[in-house]
Amino acid sequence: MNVIHRSIMIPIEQLKPHPDNPRKDVGDVAELAESIKANGIFQNLTVIPDDDTYMVVIGHRRLAAAKAAGLTELPCMVVEMDAKEQISTMLLENMQRNDLTIWEQAQGFQMMLDLGETESDIAEKTGFSKTTVRHRLKLLELDPEEFRKSQERQPTMADYIELEKISDPKLKSKALAAIGTANYKWTIESCKRHQRELEIRNEWLSFIDDLFMQDDYDKNRKIVKTVYMTKKMNDDDKKELKELSEDIDLDYCYTEGNTYLYILGAILDKPKPTYEEERQKRNERIECIKVIEEQAKKLRQQFVKDYKSKTTCHKFALLAFLKSEIDLMDTSWDRVAEILDLPESEDKEDGYDAESIQQQLSFESMAAFSPDRLLLAILSDYFEDWHLSVHSWDGHYQRNESLECWYDTLTKLGYSMSTDEQQLLDGTHECFNEEAEDENTATE
């Protein structure tokens, strides 16, 4: 930076905001305008020459307030800066005042990258870590309008970082729409699962497409093999499919659905579902339900693991429930120790028992100062060890009062049930809808 004039009065009509200022909205300047009207401006604006005018590098709020206050000229320091210096100076000035949103920070970082800076350079000049710079830049991959809407729900930066684990644009948009809501954890886990399934599905399709012709679903064709495309392909699968493709006597083809892929054989004269086909349909429904049940269990267990001690009333609620419902003799102390992140026992090679765990100082401290967390861990072991399924042997909804009781306890402690969990619990989830399943199969 080269200083041309350290202090000079410049007519206000010759001053204009910098077009690349990271802060797009200077905010409400009414109070600052009143102060300037009464006391004037004591700190020079930093400006750069631009033909017959000057662009402001530092002092955008003062310029806006001075215009509102009716001033005709302002004290300025005129300097020469290259493009990199201009962007980094404006970015740093706003960050030091905490004036930038995380989106504006990201845009500022991107401008510096576009001017040839590296992430290391940006971190050094702004004082942020390289990890923070990288996370901010990732925000620019999101839809700007959806991001603006998400900001109104006040999510944490950690919530946005979770989105980086999703590469599929549609799934990422779905998760972004849920960020800051009670459904976010469920949605993010669901999207990550769908992304894994999509990768496996594409692997199946790439392999099968080289072996069979694709055709529309035909009820009059016998289903020779059903491929569950969320299960990773193995060598046995490849061998079986290759053998089918080499059987030239049968007119095999395949039809693609959302989750399943069907290898179809010759046209049947009088098709009717066999026992095996009915059993396959039932197993598919149960498999779908189990995937959702497992995701719900994962979220419950994570809540218990992350739980911090809360109010006294929570402690009494847990104590009362513990006293009336739990048999401590059945407690698996291995799982309790894992939930509480307690150190492994030095004396017990085969794990924990009540005596060994209760002799640990960390356990005694937790019992004294965080009894609610300890009791919640014991409750988690008690409940999650049970069969908390909400479906019967044939895949139909079956009410589970133990699961209802467990959810009731968790929600009293701050757990937020997602829409899918609530629908799974009361039997209204679409996975129980056989008619919808039949329609989907027909569509496939």
State whether 298 and 381 are in the same domain: yes
Residue 200 is predicted with a pLDDT of 86
Angle at 265 between CA 260 and CA 271, to 5 degrees: 90
Question: Residue 364 domain-assigned?
Answer: yes
CA dihedral 384, 386, 389, 395 (to 10 degrees): 140
Domain membership of residue 244 as a residue range: 213-272
The conformation of residue 183, written as its DSSP 8-state character, comes to T
Q: Give the count of domains, the chain.
A: 4
Distance CA 414, CA 309 (A): 11
Least Cα distance to 60 among 21, 106, 5 occurs for 21
State whether 35 and 73 are in the same domain: yes
Question: Residue 122 domain-assigned?
Answer: no
State whether 187 and 62 are in the same domain: no
Q: 151: part of which helix (H) or strand (E)?
A: helix 144-151
Contact partners, residue 196, CB within 8 Å, separation at least 6: none
Distance CA 119, CA 132 (A): 10
Which pTM was predicted? 0.60
Residue 442 is predicted with a pLDDT of 37
Question: Residue 400 domain-assigned?
Answer: yes
The conformation of residue 386, written as its DSSP 8-state character, comes to S
State whether 354 and 332 are in the same domain: yes
The conformation of residue 250, written as its DSSP 8-state character, comes to S
Question: Residue 107 domain-assigned?
Answer: no
Question: Residue 247 domain-assigned?
Answer: yes
Question: Residue 262 domain-assigned?
Answer: yes
State whether 244 and 165 are in the same domain: no
Name residues of the chain where pLDDT drops below 50: 324, 435-444
Distance CA 131, CA 137 (A): 10
Q: Are the C-beta atoms of residues 142 and 172 closer than 8 Å to each other?
A: yes
Cβ-in-10-Å burial (0-12, 13-18, 19+) of 276 comes to exposed
Distance CA 76, CA 4 (A): 11
State whether 334 and 382 are in the same domain: yes
The conformation of residue 142, written as its DSSP 8-state character, comes to S
State whether 168 and 54 are in the same domain: no
For helices 102-114 and 119-126, angle between their N-to-C axes, nearest 10 degrees: 130
Q: Are the C-beta atoms of residues 61 and 31 closer than 8 Å to each other?
A: no
State whether 249 and 314 are in the same domain: no
Q: 186: part of which helix (H) or strand (E)?
A: helix 184-208
Select from 161, 177, 199 the last residue of a domain. Answer: 199
Select from 150, 165, 199 the last residue of a domain. Answer: 199
CB atoms within 10 A of CB 214: 12
Cα dist from 315 to 385, 412, 442, whole Å: 22, 11, 53
Distance CA 190, CA 420 (A): 10
State whether 25 and 162 are in the same domain: no
Question: Residue 42 domain-assigned?
Answer: yes
Residue 47 is predicted with a pLDDT of 96
- Reported as a single tens digit per residue, the pLDDT across 204-244 is 888 888 887 777 767 667 777 777 777 788 888 888 888 88
Q: How many CA atoms lie within 13 A of 89 on its CB side?
A: 19
State whether 401 and 330 are in the same domain: yes
Distance CA 22, CA 92 (A): 10
Select from 40, 73, 100 the last residue of a domain. Answer: 100
Residue 441 is predicted with a pLDDT of 42
Helix, strand, or coil (residue 56): strand
CATH of the domain at 77: 3.90.1530.10
Query: 255 forms bridges with which residues in the sheet?
Result: 262
State whether 260 and 313 are in the same domain: no
State whether 318 and 424 are in the same domain: yes
Exposure string of 49-86, with b = 16+ CB inside 10 Å and e = fewer, is eeeeebbbbbbbbbbbbbbebebeebbbbbbebeebbb
Question: Residue 175 domain-assigned?
Answer: yes
